[in-house]
């Protein structure tokens, strides 16, 4: 049995990890940390069933890091840098759900997160944990940087195009996320009365931090021949608990046909256990993916144009966070990639 430690377990990604790990036949909880709720049972933080609720929370300083084979770190960005390093130093393999180890260039990280990167050696060895792109690297990684929720939907929605060099011009990713994506700290924006019966764009105009993560990975997927495309990413707050739908608009280069594009997507995702490439005529909806680890991807070609509309849906807490983290765990340990995730 793999011994699991979770740092910062009392947020929504921590809760989702516990729910999923409960069903995982090859993993068991070693310890859970919470600085604010240390000494309490996990059930004091969440209305969860008894088996999950019985775990006791400890402060990170009191956690036996060496007792964990794998550590999931669920802290916010910047706060994750040091604990990840400590867990690595104690010998655990680490899956970090924050943004701290996702951007390969520490200068880019600092520019977008307003915080210097203080673990650049670790950063250099971190693997971006998107199994559909980096399965072999994840299998041997000691530190996996679990992707952001929005980037998971957009990168997987565009990767087959990027690999062919078919990204061009201005690409629009109009994304909509459920409120759990904003975390568990109460704010006016996430107050029920403000969010319910409402719908709001926010951080539009190339200012949301996930943009740079998308660009990094799409450029890498493109390889050497960089085209001059740019990505406009517009997040919106959706009055649902879970789920992201990205509606992505791409102007395909002249001559690229629907049949070619469909073939590329089919080839890219045929063997993927968690990509549900929908047949022509369908669109992705949240219902396709909430409470599952799947991404649903659909391709709609606008007649008489070169415009492709990609709709891509995930559950932000599962494929967009904790489910993907467990998928990475399985890959790292040679387990069936679907273990605990069906």
301 touching its own copies, by CB under 8 A: yes
Which of 12, 101, 150, 166 is close enough to bind its own copies by CB under 8 A? 12
Footprint of its own copies on 164-203 (CB under 8 A): 170, 172, 174, 176, 179-180, 184, 186-188, 190-202
Alpha-carbon distance of 148 to 177, in angstroms, equals 12
**Residue 285 within binding range of its own copies, rule CB under 8 A:** yes
List strand residue ranges (DSSP E) for 24-146, in order. 27-33, 57-58, 70-73, 93-96, 127-128, 143-145
Residues paired with residue 127 on neighbouring β-strands, in sequence order: 144
From 73, 74, 149, 164, the catalytic residue: 149
Kindly state the smallest distance separating residue 43's Cβ from its own copies, in Å. 9
Please tell me the count of residues contacting its own copies according to CB under 8 A: 71
Structure tokens at 206: 């190339």
Burial class (CB in 10 A: 0-12, 13-18, 19+), 217: buried
The only residue of 10, 98, 146, 251 in contact with its own copies, by rule CB under 8 A: 251
Q: Is 26 in the site for its own copies (CB under 8 A)?
A: no
Q: What is the β-pairing status of strands 244-251 and 295-301?
A: unpaired
In 3D, which of 186, 169, 246 has the Cα closest to residue 211?
A: 246
| Closer CB to its own copies, 198 or 257, in the complex | 198
Give bridge partners of residue 247 from the DSSP assignment: 174, 311
Say how many Å lie between the first and final Cα of the chain, rounded: 19
56 versus 300: smaller Cβ distance to its own copies: 300
With binding defined as CB under 8 A, does residue 1 bind its own copies? no
Q: Which is nearer to its own copies, 12 or 265 (CB)?
A: 12
Return the residues of window 47-86 that contact its own copies according to CB under 8 A: 47-51
Binding of its own copies by 34 (CB under 8 A): no
| Binding residues for its own copies restricted to 216-235, rule: CB under 8 A | 230, 232, 234
Pairing between strand 275-277 and 295-301? Answer: parallel
Q: 73 an active-site residue?
A: no
Residues 311-340 within binding reach of its own copies (CB under 8 A) = 311
Which one of 89, 115, 206, 263 is in contact with its own copies (CB under 8 A)? 206
Cα separation, 219 vs 136, whole angstroms:
19
How far is it, in rounded angstroms, from Cα 268 to Cα 299? Answer: 14
According to the binding rule CB under 8 A, does residue 307 interact with its own copies?
A: yes
Q: Which residues are catalytic?
A: 149
């Amino acid at each position: 049995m793999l011994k699991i430690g979770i740092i910062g377990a009392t947020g929504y990604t921590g809760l989702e990890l516990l729910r999923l790990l409960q069903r995982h036949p090859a993993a068991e909880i070693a310890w859970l940390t919470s600085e604010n709720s240390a000494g309490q049972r996990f059930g004091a933080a969440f209305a969860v069933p008894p088996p999950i609720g019985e775990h006791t929370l400890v402060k990170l300083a009191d956690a036996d890091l060496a007792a964990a084979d794998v550590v999931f770190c669920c802290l916010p960005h910047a706060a994750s840098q040091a604990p990840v390093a400590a867990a690595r130093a104690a010998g655990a393999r680490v899956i970090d759900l924050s943004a701290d180890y996702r951007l390969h260039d520490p200068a880019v990280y600092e520019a977008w997160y307003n915080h210097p990167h203080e673990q650049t050696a670790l950063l250099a060895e971190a693997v971006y944990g998107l199994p559909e792109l980096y399965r072999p690297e994840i299998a041997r990684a000691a530190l996996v940087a679990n992707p952001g929720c929005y980037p998971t939907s957009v990168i997987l929605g565009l990767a087959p195009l990027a690999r062919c060099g078919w990204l061009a011009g201005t690409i629009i990713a109009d994304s909509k996320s459920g409120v759990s994506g904003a975390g568990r700290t109460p704010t006016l924006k996430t107050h029920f009365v403000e969010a319910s019966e409402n719908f709001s764009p926010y951080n539009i105009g190339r200012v949301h931090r996930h943009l740079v993560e998308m660009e990094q990975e799409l450029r890498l997927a493109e390889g050497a021949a960089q085209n001059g495309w740019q990505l406009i990413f517009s997040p919106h707050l959706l009055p649902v608990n879970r789920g992201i739908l990205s509606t992505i608009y791409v102007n395909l280069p002249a001559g690229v046909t629907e049949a070619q594009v469909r073939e590329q997507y089919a080839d890219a995702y045929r063997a993927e256990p968690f990509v549900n490439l929908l047949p022509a005529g369908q669109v992705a909806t949240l219902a396709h993916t909430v409470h599952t680890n799947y991404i649903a991807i659909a391709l709609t070609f606008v007649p008489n144009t070169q415009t492709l509309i990609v709709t891509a849906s995930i559950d932000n807490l599962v494929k967009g966070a904790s489910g993907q983290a467990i998928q990475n765990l399985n890959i790292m340990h040679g387990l069936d990639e679907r273990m605990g995730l069906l």
